[in-house]
Chains A and B, each alone.
Chain A
Amino acid sequence: MDSALRELYQEVILDHSRHPRHYGAMDGASHKAEGYNPLCGDRVTVYLLLGPDGRVADIKFEGKGCAISQASASMMVDMLKGRSQAEAEKLMQGFLHLVKGEDASDLSEDDRERLEVMGGISEFPMRVKCATLAWHTYKNAVEEGAT
């Protein structure tokens, strides 16, 4: 089989898309945003509970779309929980670099190892937006989504 395809649809990604983590609406969310990709109809809603210091005390998502968009959202919520805003921003930038095939060495070793499974997307430029939808939605929630 095509190795780029195998890289893109590896088991970790398919598993996240079939069994998304932290899935569902959140009562009492402090922030919320809906992301939509009009090109393909992918939808992701991100719910956040930010602590007084801006730390991600809790995060959940709901969505519908392709395997890449949903797996990316699932991995994102998994990794963002507990992070400060600065840490979250750094993770996001690293992720964006990674999926575009750019230098992602600013990620910590641990983060890079976990996110590496999404690296295969850089071979599929038409699909990068699927992978970044959840992250942009998270950012929107923080900046403009206070409930």
Chain B
Amino acid sequence: MTAQSKISASFDAEKARADFEILSRQVYGKPLVYLDSGASAQKPRVVLDAMRDFAQSEYANVHRGVHFLSAAATDRYEAARRTLQKFLKAASEDELVFTKGGTEAINLVAHSYLMPTIQPGDEIVLSVMEHHSNIVPWHFLRERHGAVLRWVDVRDDGCLDMDALDAAIGPKTKLVAITHMSNVLGTITPLKDIVARAHAKGVPVLADGCQGAVHQPVDVQALDIDFYVITGHKLYGPTGIGALYAKKAHLKKMRPFNGGGEMIREVARDRITYADPPARFEAGTPPIIESVGLAVALDYLMALDRTAVAAHEHDLLAYARQQVGQFNWLRVIGDAPGKGAILSFEADGMHAHDLATILDREGVAVRAGHHCAQVLMERFSVASTSRASFALYNTRADVDALIGGLSKAREILVHG
């Protein structure tokens, strides 16, 4: 293999890089090598331009004024909902609730869907590779309502243990809450199969798609999934916005989450009625400018050949995996077949934070720590890992910079 970026017939990463101005900057006098898109992705110029243009020419609050700008802003906000519908292939735009991020979307389901009916002893099935955002809301139900968390293990290579999943789903299970793609291992879960197995026992499924939706097309109808959660900033969009997809039948039965403006039908001194979904779950002024940015980010992604993008990211991962294979002092955590473009590892004699500090000085941004996945860290008996996560704008040259930085860190920390 060479350091040359493989240029696929239908996706050219070098060309895509030009859309992301930040990638041409330097840090500490070295070219930026951004390998932390799993934490937050950089935003293409079209997203930033659209947000500024909208704020400069069409901005006002939504769903309120009768004036020109309010109508224009409302159009853009609702158009963003339809873009999201298209992105997730939902049956209706009314099945999409804007939230401030993935975390809020999961909290919304915990609060509005599960909390009203949960009984002590009821069970929620989770995998050990969940992000804290898909753990802590369920812990609240355990602490406050006596729910029981049932944990599904992963195999040593990071694959979800499907037999353990089957065993965990029982008569008391009220929900399966599972990631679509692990933010640490890169493991992609077989969602369709999971949903089929859960539905066979009458159990609904929530998928945390904060990573998963970035790296592969999602079709919530084909998956037949009950709840699917995304966040904007990992999808090359802005921070402060995410979304919950939920089947209409669920949304209709769900009680309000936050209370405030926009989510009501009528408010009197001693009586209140609520708006229909999705407005019922969007109290207060929503992230309006961000919705415009998110829609443009999703359009940007949908205009690409996503199969080719996925192939490019897999090529980077395979190349990185092969390159780190030469280091007998480095252990990769998570080698599930078909995994997404995330490489987590620990290195002998080098703590993840020391490693990340040295890589940083080489211009290479990686994540170090527990990645908000302490249950998984415990599963693999590690305190922390270093993680390189690849996005559509990364190239083999970025991988080479990572490999060079790793050798250097070894030289500083171990050979001193």
Contact = CB atoms under 8 A, between A and B. Distances in A.
Given A9-B412, A14-B413, A64-B383, A40 B357 contact: no
Nearest to A8: B357
Contacts of B368: 40
Given A40-B384, A64-B383, A5 B361 contact: yes
A117 interface: no
Interface in A5-33: 5-6, 8-9, 11, 14
Given A2-B361, A41-B369, A41-B383, A9 B353 contact: no
Interface string B376-397: 0100000110000000000000
A57 interface: no
B357 A41 contact: no
Contacts of A124: 357
Contact of B351 (A1, A2, A5, A66): A66
A9 B354 contact: yes
Given A8-B357, A40-B369, A124-B357, A67 B413 contact: yes
B246 interface: no
Contacts of B413: 9, 14, 67
A68 interface: yes
A4 B383 contact: no
A8 B354 CA distance: 10
B155 to A, nearest CB: 24
Contact of A1 (B28, B352, B383, B412): B412
A42 B354 CA distance: 12
A4 B353 contact: no
A130 interface: yes
Contacts of B416: 9, 11, 14
Nearest to B382: A41
Interface string A28-61: 0000000000011111000000000000000000
Classify chain B's interface size: 10 to 19
Nearest to B351: A66
B149 interface: no
Contact of B353 (A1, A2, A14, A40): A40
A127 B360 CA distance: 12
B234 to A, nearest CB: 20
A39 B369 contact: yes
Contacts of A68: 353-354
A42 B369 CA distance: 10
Contacts of A39: 369
A65 interface: yes
Contacts of A66: 351-354
B154 interface: no
Interface string B147-179: 000000000000000000000000000000000
Contacts of A1: 408, 412
Given A1-B412, A5-B361, A42-B353, 15 more contacts: A2-B28, A5-B357, A5-B412, A6-B412, A9-B358, A9-B413, A9-B416, A14-B416, A41-B377, A41-B384, A64-B383, A66-B354, A67-B351, A67-B413, A126-B357
Q: State the 7 A-B residue pairs at the shortest beta-carbon distance, nearest first.
A: A66-B351, A66-B353, A41-B383, A41-B384, A2-B361, A67-B354, A66-B354
30 contacts: A1-B408, A4-B361, A5-B357, A5-B358, A5-B361, A5-B412, A6-B412, A8-B357, A9-B354, A9-B416, A11-B416, A14-B416, A40-B368, A40-B369, A40-B370, A40-B384, A41-B369, A41-B370, A41-B377, A41-B383, A42-B353, A43-B383, A65-B351, A65-B353, A66-B352, A67-B351, A67-B413, A124-B357, A126-B357, A127-B357
Interface of A: 1-2, 4-6, 8-9, 11, 14, 39-43, 64-68, 124, 126-127, 130
